[in-house]
Structure formats: C-alpha cells, structure tokens
Amino acid sequence: MMLTGFAHGGLELRRKPDGSARLAGRFPYNSRAVLSDGGRTGRPRKEQFAPGAFRHSIETGQEVHLLVGHSFDRALASRGAGSLVLEDTPKALVFNATIAAAMMEVGYVRDALAGLAAGLIVGISPGFRIPPQQTVPDAEEVTEEDPSEGRALIRTIREAILFEISLVARPAYSETEIEARNWNTAQQPAQVGSGLHRTLNRWRA
C-alpha cells in the first residue's frame, strides 16, 4: 500500500514563451500533521518527516512522477522524461517541473492549471512507502510529545521510498496533511506502559 502526505507547498506556476509551463513546489520537513485528535478517550496522533526522508530516492535516481491527484493516468512530468527535477534541502523536498507545450492540449492538464490559477489546487502530496524494517531498521520512530506541548504520540518518518508527487486540492490541516497512513509501531516510545502498548498495537496495518 502506498501512503500519502500533504503540504501547502508554496506552488508557483510560470508560463514560458514557447507555450510550456514551469511548476515549482516544496514539501516541508519537521512540520507536524495532526492525524487524529484522539476522540473522547484516545490520544492525539501526529506525524512529521525528518530532513532527508526522501534523500535515498533522490540520490539513486529513482523514477518519480508529478501527478494530479495521485493518478498515474494524469501525469504532468517525470524524472525519466527529464521534465522533473528534485532537490533535497535541509528544510524541504523541492521540485521543479517543466510541463511541455504539447501537454497543454490535454484536458486534465488544462483542468489542473486552471485549478492552480483559481486557487483551488493549493498543495502537494507525496506518494511513498516505508522501506522494510530488515533493510532500514530506523526508518520510522514513535515518540511521546513533550508534556509542555501536549500528550500526543508523534511518528517521525526518517526514510521513505518516494514514487510520486501530486497536486492536491483539499487540505485538511493548516500546514501538513497526512491523508492515509498505516503506522508501523515496531519501534515504540521509550518507557511505554502496557496501556499505551495496547494502543500502539491497534495502529498496526
């Protein structure tokens, strides 16, 4: 199962004289998303990506697509086609895409760019998987929030395999949204009591 995350990515679109377009955006690191407020009896859950979480995929030249709404049938650019450039910075995953002039005649491309211009498409969402634990034992970690900030459990993703970045329209959180998630809680917070241990086990896929 591929997971997805969300961020207001500071999307920027610029038209070029040759009819193509340049689209740039960023997915911030160390930005916590509230996945759940815990309801009436549970504990809040938050998630964040550590700096460099996508570095391996970027450095190995793995194919990554820029899509509309996580649909590979609605591709805008890709690394393989030479139209998508990714950069891993200390603060964010940054991308720059060139949408070819010929693509401007495609219906979903016109719709996506119109949505951007109208302010309806406002962020980006990476599609990724967590690597197997036997390959990367510390790919993710669950810790407890500083008591001065709250009582949430915080999942930090340290390494993820990136497959695609999508333009998305509906943010649920002010800064970073995680839209679907299966938590691997093999690595649990230090000094976890039996009650918390049972709660973590309920998050397993």
Q: Rounded to an integer, what distance in angstroms lies between the CA atom of residue 8 and that of residue 205?
A: 27
Report the domain count for the chain: 1
* Domain region containing 141: 3-201
Question: How much is the pLDDT for 182?
Answer: 44
What was the pLDDT predicted at 170? 60
Considering all CA atoms of the chain, what is the largest pairwise distance in Å, rounded to the nearest integer? 63
Give a three-class secondary structure readout of the chain: CCEEEEECCCCEEEECCCCCEEEEEEEECCCCEEEECCCCCCCCEEEEECCCCCHHHHHCCCCCEEEECCEEEEEEEECCCCCEEEEECCCEEEEEEEECHHHHHCHHHHHHHHHHHCCCCCEEEEEEECCCCCCCCCCEEEEECCCCCCCCEEEEECCCEEEEEEEECCCCCCCEEEEECCCCCCCCCCCCCHHHHHHHHCCCC
Question: How many residues are there in the chain?
Answer: 205
One digit per residue, pLDDT tens: the chain, 205 residues?
Answer: 566 555 555 688 888 899 999 999 888 899 887 878 888 888 999 888 999 999 999 999 999 999 998 999 999 999 999 999 999 999 999 999 999 999 999 999 999 999 988 888 888 888 889 999 999 999 999 999 999 988 999 999 999 999 999 998 764 323 433 233 444 444 445 444 434 443 343 343 3
pLDDT on residue 195:
41
Predicted pLDDT at 119:
85
